[in-house]
Structure 1
Protein backbone atom coordinates (compact mmCIF):
# COMPACT_ATOMS: atom_id res chain seq x y z
CA UNK A 1 0.00 0.00 0.00
CA UNK A 2 1.29 3.45 -0.93
CA UNK A 3 1.21 6.17 1.71
CA UNK A 4 1.69 9.74 0.42
CA UNK A 5 4.46 11.66 2.17
CA UNK A 6 3.97 15.37 2.72
CA UNK A 7 6.70 17.64 1.36
CA UNK A 8 6.98 21.30 0.48
CA UNK A 9 8.56 20.70 -2.91
CA UNK A 10 8.45 17.08 -4.06
CA UNK A 11 5.30 15.76 -5.73
CA UNK A 12 4.50 12.07 -6.05
CA UNK A 13 6.53 11.06 -3.00
CA UNK A 14 5.15 7.92 -1.32
CA UNK A 15 6.13 5.38 1.29
CA UNK A 16 5.81 1.67 0.50
CA UNK A 17 6.71 -0.47 3.49
CA UNK A 18 10.31 0.26 4.44
CA UNK A 19 10.99 2.17 1.22
CA UNK A 20 10.34 5.60 -0.27
CA UNK A 21 9.39 5.93 -3.94
CA UNK A 22 9.85 9.19 -5.81
CA UNK A 23 9.58 10.18 -9.47
CA UNK A 24 12.90 9.89 -11.29
CA UNK A 25 14.44 12.76 -13.25
CA UNK A 26 17.51 13.26 -15.44
CA UNK A 27 19.53 13.77 -12.24
CA UNK A 28 18.43 10.61 -10.42
CA UNK A 29 21.22 8.33 -11.66
CA UNK A 30 23.82 10.80 -10.38
CA UNK A 31 22.01 11.07 -7.04
CA UNK A 32 21.91 7.28 -6.74
CA UNK A 33 25.64 7.11 -7.48
CA UNK A 34 26.29 9.68 -4.73
CA UNK A 35 24.12 7.81 -2.22
CA UNK A 36 25.83 4.54 -3.13
CA UNK A 37 29.19 6.18 -2.44
CA UNK A 38 27.99 7.40 0.96
CA UNK A 39 26.80 3.88 1.76
CA UNK A 40 30.11 2.38 0.65
CA UNK A 41 32.16 4.73 2.85
CA UNK A 42 29.88 3.88 5.80
CA UNK A 43 28.40 7.36 6.18
CA UNK A 44 25.16 6.73 8.15
CA UNK A 45 23.50 10.08 7.51
CA UNK A 46 21.84 9.38 4.15
CA UNK A 47 19.19 6.92 2.93
CA UNK A 48 20.40 3.87 1.03
CA UNK A 49 19.62 3.72 -2.70
CA UNK A 50 17.60 0.65 -3.71
CA UNK A 51 17.29 1.00 -7.48
CA UNK A 52 14.05 1.49 -9.41
CA UNK A 53 10.59 -0.01 -9.12
CA UNK A 54 8.43 -1.35 -11.96
CA UNK A 55 7.15 2.19 -12.60
CA UNK A 56 10.64 3.58 -13.02
CA UNK A 57 10.55 5.47 -9.72
CA UNK A 58 13.61 5.90 -7.54
CA UNK A 59 13.51 3.55 -4.55
CA UNK A 60 15.20 4.62 -1.32
CA UNK A 61 15.43 3.33 2.21
CA UNK A 62 12.75 4.82 4.47
CA UNK A 63 14.40 6.28 7.58
CA UNK A 64 11.94 6.60 10.47
CA UNK A 65 12.36 9.51 12.84
CA UNK A 66 11.40 13.10 13.58
CA UNK A 67 11.88 16.05 11.25
CA UNK A 68 13.07 19.36 12.67
CA UNK A 69 11.06 22.51 13.26
CA UNK A 70 11.46 24.83 10.23
CA UNK A 71 11.88 27.84 12.54
CA UNK A 72 15.20 26.46 13.83
CA UNK A 73 14.55 25.53 17.45
CA UNK A 74 17.46 23.15 18.00
CA UNK A 75 19.31 23.36 21.31
CA UNK A 76 22.92 24.56 21.37
CA UNK A 77 24.15 21.00 21.88
CA UNK A 78 22.11 19.87 18.89
CA UNK A 79 23.47 22.70 16.75
CA UNK A 80 27.03 21.65 17.59
CA UNK A 81 26.25 18.07 16.62
CA UNK A 82 24.59 19.20 13.37
CA UNK A 83 27.72 21.18 12.51
CA UNK A 84 29.86 18.10 13.14
CA UNK A 85 27.45 16.01 11.07
CA UNK A 86 27.77 18.38 8.12
CA UNK A 87 31.57 18.27 8.37
CA UNK A 88 31.40 14.45 8.29
CA UNK A 89 29.19 14.66 5.19
CA UNK A 90 31.62 16.94 3.41
CA UNK A 91 34.54 14.67 4.25
CA UNK A 92 32.57 11.76 2.79
CA UNK A 93 31.51 13.54 -0.40
CA UNK A 94 34.99 14.99 -1.01
CA UNK A 95 36.11 11.53 -2.16
CA UNK A 96 33.15 11.06 -4.52
CA UNK A 97 33.93 11.02 -8.25
CA UNK A 98 30.71 11.56 -10.24
CA UNK A 99 30.18 9.29 -13.24
CA UNK A 100 31.04 10.93 -16.60
CA UNK A 101 27.35 10.96 -17.53
CA UNK A 102 26.27 12.71 -14.31
CA UNK A 103 23.55 15.32 -14.66
CA UNK A 104 22.47 17.40 -11.68
CA UNK A 105 19.38 19.45 -10.90
CA UNK A 106 20.77 22.96 -10.37
CA UNK A 107 17.95 24.84 -8.65
CA UNK A 108 20.20 27.58 -7.21
CA UNK A 109 23.64 27.98 -8.84
CA UNK A 110 26.42 27.68 -6.22
CA UNK A 111 29.22 30.18 -5.76
CA UNK A 112 31.77 27.67 -7.07
CA UNK A 113 32.57 23.96 -7.10
CA UNK A 114 34.90 22.07 -4.78
CA UNK A 115 32.83 19.00 -3.89
CA UNK A 116 29.32 17.56 -4.28
CA UNK A 117 26.87 19.05 -1.79
CA UNK A 118 23.30 18.34 -0.68
CA UNK A 119 22.18 21.97 -1.26
CA UNK A 120 19.16 21.87 1.07
CA UNK A 121 20.55 21.13 4.54
CA UNK A 122 17.61 22.44 6.53
CA UNK A 123 15.34 21.24 9.36
CA UNK A 124 12.67 19.99 6.95
CA UNK A 125 15.22 17.57 5.47
CA UNK A 126 17.01 16.47 8.64
CA UNK A 127 15.67 13.37 10.41
CA UNK A 128 16.48 12.68 14.06
CA UNK A 129 16.70 8.90 13.77
CA UNK A 130 17.83 5.92 15.83
CA UNK A 131 21.18 5.98 14.00
CA UNK A 132 21.68 9.73 14.40
CA UNK A 133 21.06 12.63 12.01
CA UNK A 134 19.98 11.60 8.51
CA UNK A 135 19.53 13.95 5.56
CA UNK A 136 16.73 13.17 3.12
CA UNK A 137 15.61 14.69 -0.22
CA UNK A 138 18.82 14.57 -2.26
CA UNK A 139 17.27 15.65 -5.58
CA UNK A 140 19.05 19.03 -5.48
CA UNK A 141 22.48 17.50 -4.83
CA UNK A 142 25.32 18.55 -7.08
CA UNK A 143 28.65 20.36 -7.25
CA UNK A 144 29.04 23.30 -4.88
CA UNK A 145 31.24 24.64 -2.10
CA UNK A 146 31.52 23.91 1.58
CA UNK A 147 30.95 27.54 2.55
CA UNK A 148 27.86 27.98 0.32
CA UNK A 149 26.30 24.89 1.88
CA UNK A 150 27.38 25.85 5.40
CA UNK A 151 25.90 29.37 4.99
CA UNK A 152 22.48 27.95 4.17
CA UNK A 153 22.66 25.27 6.86
CA UNK A 154 23.73 27.79 9.50
CA UNK A 155 20.91 30.21 8.68
CA UNK A 156 18.22 27.53 8.59
CA UNK A 157 19.38 25.26 11.41
CA UNK A 158 20.33 28.07 13.78
CA UNK A 159 17.12 29.90 12.95
CA UNK A 160 18.79 33.21 12.05
CA UNK A 161 15.59 35.10 11.35
CA UNK A 162 14.17 38.60 11.84
CA UNK A 163 12.08 37.64 14.87
CA UNK A 164 15.07 36.27 16.84
CA UNK A 165 17.34 38.62 18.84
CA UNK A 166 20.63 39.35 17.10
CA UNK A 167 22.73 38.19 20.03
CA UNK A 168 20.95 34.86 20.14
CA UNK A 169 21.33 34.36 16.38
CA UNK A 170 25.04 35.19 16.62
CA UNK A 171 25.59 32.69 19.43
CA UNK A 172 23.71 29.94 17.62
CA UNK A 173 25.70 30.61 14.45
CA UNK A 174 28.98 30.35 16.37
CA UNK A 175 28.01 27.06 18.03
CA UNK A 176 27.07 25.39 14.74
CA UNK A 177 30.19 26.64 12.94
CA UNK A 178 32.42 25.60 15.85
CA UNK A 179 30.80 22.16 15.65
CA UNK A 180 31.67 22.05 11.97
CA UNK A 181 35.25 22.97 12.79
CA UNK A 182 35.54 25.68 10.14
CA UNK A 183 39.04 27.10 9.83
CA UNK A 184 39.46 30.62 11.18
CA UNK A 185 40.63 31.97 7.81
CA UNK A 186 37.32 30.95 6.20
CA UNK A 187 35.04 32.49 8.82
CA UNK A 188 34.87 36.09 7.54
CA UNK A 189 33.88 34.77 4.10
CA UNK A 190 31.13 32.68 5.66
CA UNK A 191 29.75 35.73 7.49
CA UNK A 192 29.47 37.52 4.15
CA UNK A 193 27.89 34.52 2.39
CA UNK A 194 24.99 34.21 4.85
CA UNK A 195 23.01 37.02 3.27
CA UNK A 196 24.04 36.10 -0.28
CA UNK A 197 22.74 32.55 0.14
CA UNK A 198 19.43 33.73 1.63
CA UNK A 199 19.08 36.27 -1.19
CA UNK A 200 19.64 33.51 -3.77
CA UNK A 201 16.68 31.66 -2.26
CA UNK A 202 14.60 34.85 -2.28
CA UNK A 203 15.44 35.40 -5.96
CA UNK A 204 14.51 31.82 -6.86
CA UNK A 205 11.07 32.31 -5.32
CA UNK A 206 10.62 35.75 -6.91
CA UNK A 207 11.40 34.38 -10.38
CA UNK A 208 9.07 31.45 -9.78
CA UNK A 209 6.24 33.81 -8.86
CA UNK A 210 6.95 36.03 -11.87
CA UNK A 211 7.04 33.13 -14.33
CA UNK A 212 4.38 30.97 -12.69
CA UNK A 213 6.79 28.10 -12.00
CA UNK A 214 5.72 25.66 -9.28
CA UNK A 215 6.39 24.95 -6.52
CA UNK A 216 8.37 28.20 -6.25
CA UNK A 217 5.39 30.45 -6.99
CA UNK A 218 3.41 28.80 -4.19
CA UNK A 219 6.32 28.99 -1.75
CA UNK A 220 6.84 32.64 -2.68
CA UNK A 221 3.23 33.35 -1.73
CA UNK A 222 3.73 31.58 1.60
CA UNK A 223 7.31 32.51 2.53
CA UNK A 224 8.61 35.06 0.03
CA UNK A 225 8.54 37.93 2.51
CA UNK A 226 10.39 35.83 5.10
CA UNK A 227 13.29 35.07 2.74
CA UNK A 228 13.54 38.67 1.58
CA UNK A 229 13.55 39.99 5.15
CA UNK A 230 16.06 37.35 6.24
CA UNK A 231 18.46 38.27 3.43
CA UNK A 232 18.23 41.95 4.44
CA UNK A 233 18.89 41.06 8.08
CA UNK A 234 21.90 38.88 7.33
CA UNK A 235 23.46 41.43 4.98
CA UNK A 236 22.90 44.27 7.46
CA UNK A 237 24.80 42.59 10.29
CA UNK A 238 27.87 41.04 8.68
CA UNK A 239 30.17 42.68 11.30
CA UNK A 240 28.10 41.07 14.05
CA UNK A 241 28.39 37.61 12.48
CA UNK A 242 32.10 38.13 11.80
CA UNK A 243 32.72 39.05 15.43
CA UNK A 244 30.75 36.05 16.67
CA UNK A 245 32.82 33.71 14.51
CA UNK A 246 36.20 35.25 15.35
Structure 2
Protein backbone atom coordinates (compact mmCIF):
# COMPACT_ATOMS: atom_id res chain seq x y z
CA UNK A 1 0.00 0.00 0.00
CA UNK A 2 1.32 3.45 -0.93
CA UNK A 3 1.50 5.85 2.02
CA UNK A 4 0.30 9.40 1.54
CA UNK A 5 3.02 12.03 1.23
CA UNK A 6 2.75 15.14 3.42
CA UNK A 7 4.71 18.24 2.47
CA UNK A 8 6.71 19.52 5.43
CA UNK A 9 7.01 23.25 6.10
CA UNK A 10 9.96 25.09 7.58
CA UNK A 11 12.83 24.26 5.24
CA UNK A 12 14.40 27.18 3.42
CA UNK A 13 17.14 25.52 1.42
CA UNK A 14 15.57 22.19 0.42
CA UNK A 15 12.92 21.74 -2.23
CA UNK A 16 10.13 19.19 -1.94
CA UNK A 17 10.59 18.02 1.65
CA UNK A 18 8.04 15.25 2.18
CA UNK A 19 6.98 13.07 5.07
CA UNK A 20 6.00 9.58 3.97
CA UNK A 21 4.98 7.46 6.95
CA UNK A 22 7.87 7.52 9.43
CA UNK A 23 10.34 8.87 6.88
CA UNK A 24 11.48 12.21 5.45
CA UNK A 25 12.30 12.35 1.74
CA UNK A 26 14.30 15.07 -0.01
CA UNK A 27 16.10 15.48 -3.32
CA UNK A 28 19.35 13.52 -3.56
CA UNK A 29 22.27 15.98 -3.59
CA UNK A 30 25.99 15.75 -4.34
CA UNK A 31 26.77 15.05 -0.70
CA UNK A 32 23.80 12.80 0.13
CA UNK A 33 25.75 9.55 -0.02
CA UNK A 34 28.31 11.01 2.39
CA UNK A 35 25.54 12.30 4.67
CA UNK A 36 24.08 8.80 4.84
CA UNK A 37 27.47 7.35 5.80
CA UNK A 38 28.05 10.14 8.34
CA UNK A 39 24.70 9.60 10.05
CA UNK A 40 25.38 5.87 10.20
CA UNK A 41 28.79 6.49 11.77
CA UNK A 42 27.27 8.77 14.41
CA UNK A 43 24.57 6.20 15.09
CA UNK A 44 27.18 3.46 15.55
CA UNK A 45 29.02 5.78 17.97
CA UNK A 46 25.89 5.87 20.12
CA UNK A 47 24.38 9.23 19.11
CA UNK A 48 20.67 9.70 18.56
CA UNK A 49 20.41 11.02 15.01
CA UNK A 50 17.81 10.48 12.28
CA UNK A 51 18.28 6.96 10.93
CA UNK A 52 19.76 7.01 7.42
CA UNK A 53 17.52 4.95 5.14
CA UNK A 54 19.27 5.29 1.79
CA UNK A 55 17.61 6.19 -1.51
CA UNK A 56 14.03 5.39 -2.46
CA UNK A 57 12.57 4.26 -5.79
CA UNK A 58 12.25 7.89 -6.88
CA UNK A 59 15.93 8.58 -6.18
CA UNK A 60 15.22 10.64 -3.06
CA UNK A 61 17.31 10.93 0.09
CA UNK A 62 15.47 9.11 2.90
CA UNK A 63 15.91 9.51 6.65
CA UNK A 64 13.80 8.79 9.72
CA UNK A 65 11.05 11.25 10.67
CA UNK A 66 11.55 12.38 14.28
CA UNK A 67 8.49 13.29 16.35
CA UNK A 68 8.55 16.34 18.60
CA UNK A 69 8.54 20.13 18.50
CA UNK A 70 11.20 22.41 17.07
CA UNK A 71 13.37 24.24 19.58
CA UNK A 72 12.64 27.34 17.48
CA UNK A 73 9.08 27.29 18.84
CA UNK A 74 10.33 27.07 22.45
CA UNK A 75 12.69 30.07 22.45
CA UNK A 76 14.20 31.42 24.53
CA UNK A 77 15.41 28.16 26.06
CA UNK A 78 16.21 28.14 29.77
CA UNK A 79 19.67 27.56 31.19
CA UNK A 80 19.11 23.84 31.84
CA UNK A 81 18.03 23.27 28.24
CA UNK A 82 20.90 25.36 26.86
CA UNK A 83 23.40 23.33 28.86
CA UNK A 84 21.88 20.21 27.33
CA UNK A 85 22.18 21.70 23.85
CA UNK A 86 25.86 22.41 24.46
CA UNK A 87 26.45 18.85 25.65
CA UNK A 88 24.68 17.43 22.61
CA UNK A 89 26.81 19.49 20.23
CA UNK A 90 29.96 18.36 22.03
CA UNK A 91 28.88 14.72 21.66
CA UNK A 92 28.35 15.22 17.94
CA UNK A 93 31.76 16.83 17.50
CA UNK A 94 33.56 14.20 19.55
CA UNK A 95 31.87 11.35 17.66
CA UNK A 96 32.82 13.01 14.35
CA UNK A 97 36.55 12.85 15.07
CA UNK A 98 36.91 9.42 13.48
CA UNK A 99 34.98 10.24 10.30
CA UNK A 100 37.25 10.70 7.28
CA UNK A 101 36.75 14.05 5.59
CA UNK A 102 35.21 13.64 2.13
CA UNK A 103 36.33 15.11 -1.17
CA UNK A 104 33.98 18.07 -1.64
CA UNK A 105 34.62 18.53 -5.37
CA UNK A 106 31.29 19.38 -6.95
CA UNK A 107 29.62 20.28 -3.66
CA UNK A 108 28.07 23.63 -2.83
CA UNK A 109 29.97 24.34 0.39
CA UNK A 110 28.13 27.50 1.37
CA UNK A 111 30.07 28.84 4.35
CA UNK A 112 33.45 27.08 4.35
CA UNK A 113 35.65 27.23 7.41
CA UNK A 114 39.35 27.98 7.24
CA UNK A 115 41.45 24.80 7.41
CA UNK A 116 38.55 22.37 7.90
CA UNK A 117 39.48 19.35 10.02
CA UNK A 118 36.18 17.89 11.24
CA UNK A 119 32.99 16.63 9.64
CA UNK A 120 30.18 18.86 10.95
CA UNK A 121 26.43 19.38 10.67
CA UNK A 122 26.97 23.07 9.72
CA UNK A 123 23.46 24.17 10.74
CA UNK A 124 23.08 23.28 14.43
CA UNK A 125 20.36 25.80 15.12
CA UNK A 126 16.97 25.92 16.90
CA UNK A 127 15.11 25.31 13.64
CA UNK A 128 16.93 21.97 13.32
CA UNK A 129 16.60 20.64 16.87
CA UNK A 130 13.57 18.48 17.64
CA UNK A 131 12.63 18.32 21.33
CA UNK A 132 10.39 15.65 22.79
CA UNK A 133 11.04 12.22 24.25
CA UNK A 134 14.21 12.46 22.18
CA UNK A 135 16.37 15.49 21.45
CA UNK A 136 17.57 15.08 17.88
CA UNK A 137 19.21 17.41 15.38
CA UNK A 138 17.62 16.97 11.96
CA UNK A 139 18.32 18.30 8.45
CA UNK A 140 21.89 17.15 7.89
CA UNK A 141 21.90 18.17 4.21
CA UNK A 142 24.59 20.81 4.74
CA UNK A 143 26.97 18.42 6.51
CA UNK A 144 30.57 18.67 5.38
CA UNK A 145 34.09 19.55 6.45
CA UNK A 146 34.39 22.40 8.95
CA UNK A 147 35.89 23.02 12.40
CA UNK A 148 34.61 22.81 15.96
CA UNK A 149 35.01 26.56 16.32
CA UNK A 150 33.10 27.54 13.16
CA UNK A 151 30.27 25.05 13.78
CA UNK A 152 29.99 25.93 17.47
CA UNK A 153 30.00 29.69 16.83
CA UNK A 154 26.89 29.43 14.64
CA UNK A 155 25.12 27.15 17.10
CA UNK A 156 25.96 29.32 20.11
CA UNK A 157 24.88 32.49 18.35
CA UNK A 158 21.54 31.06 17.24
CA UNK A 159 20.67 29.21 20.47
CA UNK A 160 21.95 32.12 22.56
CA UNK A 161 19.67 34.47 20.68
CA UNK A 162 22.44 36.90 19.76
CA UNK A 163 20.15 38.92 17.53
CA UNK A 164 19.22 42.59 17.29
CA UNK A 165 16.65 43.56 19.90
CA UNK A 166 17.72 41.01 22.50
CA UNK A 167 18.90 42.42 25.86
CA UNK A 168 22.66 41.92 25.84
CA UNK A 169 23.03 40.59 29.42
CA UNK A 170 20.40 37.93 28.78
CA UNK A 171 21.91 36.94 25.44
CA UNK A 172 25.37 36.76 27.05
CA UNK A 173 24.04 34.47 29.80
CA UNK A 174 22.46 32.17 27.23
CA UNK A 175 25.69 32.12 25.23
CA UNK A 176 27.61 31.20 28.36
CA UNK A 177 25.21 28.33 29.11
CA UNK A 178 25.67 26.75 25.67
CA UNK A 179 29.45 27.01 25.89
CA UNK A 180 29.53 25.72 29.47
CA UNK A 181 27.42 22.76 28.38
CA UNK A 182 29.85 22.12 25.55
CA UNK A 183 32.72 22.12 28.03
CA UNK A 184 34.80 24.47 25.89
CA UNK A 185 38.41 24.92 26.90
CA UNK A 186 40.11 28.29 27.38
CA UNK A 187 41.46 28.53 23.83
CA UNK A 188 38.03 27.92 22.35
CA UNK A 189 36.42 30.49 24.66
CA UNK A 190 39.01 33.12 23.75
CA UNK A 191 38.52 32.51 20.02
CA UNK A 192 34.72 32.46 20.08
CA UNK A 193 33.78 36.17 20.30
CA UNK A 194 35.70 37.08 17.15
CA UNK A 195 34.45 33.96 15.38
CA UNK A 196 30.85 34.72 16.36
CA UNK A 197 31.18 38.03 14.52
CA UNK A 198 32.82 36.46 11.45
CA UNK A 199 30.29 33.64 11.22
CA UNK A 200 27.30 35.94 11.52
CA UNK A 201 28.74 38.35 8.95
CA UNK A 202 29.44 35.39 6.63
CA UNK A 203 25.77 34.40 6.75
CA UNK A 204 24.71 37.89 5.71
CA UNK A 205 27.33 37.98 2.96
CA UNK A 206 26.08 34.64 1.58
CA UNK A 207 22.57 36.03 1.30
CA UNK A 208 23.74 39.33 -0.18
CA UNK A 209 26.04 37.79 -2.79
CA UNK A 210 23.38 35.21 -3.70
CA UNK A 211 20.92 38.04 -4.34
CA UNK A 212 23.45 39.73 -6.60
CA UNK A 213 24.13 36.56 -8.60
CA UNK A 214 20.66 35.02 -8.50
CA UNK A 215 21.83 31.93 -6.58
CA UNK A 216 18.71 30.27 -5.19
CA UNK A 217 17.14 29.81 -2.72
CA UNK A 218 19.37 32.30 -0.92
CA UNK A 219 18.62 35.07 -3.42
CA UNK A 220 14.92 35.05 -2.57
CA UNK A 221 15.63 34.64 1.14
CA UNK A 222 17.69 37.84 1.04
CA UNK A 223 14.69 39.92 -0.06
CA UNK A 224 12.16 38.01 2.07
CA UNK A 225 13.47 39.28 5.39
CA UNK A 226 16.55 37.15 5.93
CA UNK A 227 18.88 39.79 4.52
CA UNK A 228 17.67 42.49 6.90
CA UNK A 229 17.67 40.06 9.81
CA UNK A 230 21.23 38.83 9.32
CA UNK A 231 22.62 42.30 8.57
CA UNK A 232 21.24 43.52 11.91
CA UNK A 233 22.48 40.37 13.65
CA UNK A 234 26.00 40.83 12.29
CA UNK A 235 26.13 44.41 13.58
CA UNK A 236 24.68 43.37 16.96
CA UNK A 237 27.21 40.56 17.48
CA UNK A 238 30.12 42.78 16.48
CA UNK A 239 28.93 45.75 18.56
CA UNK A 240 28.73 43.67 21.74
CA UNK A 241 32.05 41.83 21.54
CA UNK A 242 33.08 42.93 25.03
CA UNK A 243 29.93 41.41 26.55
CA UNK A 244 30.59 38.05 24.88
CA UNK A 245 34.22 38.09 26.05
CA UNK A 246 33.19 38.79 29.64
CA UNK A 247 30.58 36.04 29.56
CA UNK A 248 32.93 33.42 28.16
CA UNK A 249 36.23 34.17 29.90
For normalisation by structure 2, the TM-score amounts to 0.93
Corresponding residue number in structure 1 for 2:112: 109
Matches within 5 A, 1:118-137: 118-131=121-134, 133-137=135-139
RMSD over aligned Cα, in angstroms?
1.7
Q: Is the 8 A contact 2:120 2:151 kept in 1?
A: yes
Matches within 5 A, 1:20-169: 20-44=24-48, 46-69=49-72, 72-98=75-101, 104-131=107-134, 133-169=135-171
Deviations 1:40-67 (A, max 9, x none): 11211x2011111111111111111101
Deviations 1:25-81 (A, max 9, x none): 11111111101101111211x201111111111111111110122794111111111
Corresponding residue number in structure 1 for 2:204: 202
Corresponding residue number in structure 1 for 2:193: 191
Q: How many residues align?
A: 244
Structure 2 residue matching 1:20: 3-state secondary structure: strand
For normalisation by structure 1, the TM-score amounts to 0.94
Structure 2 residue matching 1:175: 3-state secondary structure: helix
Deviations 1:195-231 (A, max 9, x none): 1000000000001111122211221112211111111
Q: Is the 8 A contact 1:71 1:156 kept in 2?
A: no
Q: Which runs of 5+ in 2 are unaligned?
A: none
Deviation, 1:102, is 8.2
**1:5 matches 2:8:** yes
Paired with 1:19 and 1:103, the residues of 2 have a C-alpha distance of: 27
Q: Which runs of 5+ in 1 are unaligned?
A: none
Deviation, 1:111, is 2.7
Change (3 A) 1:63 1:226: same
Residue among 19, 26, 29 paired with 2:23: 19
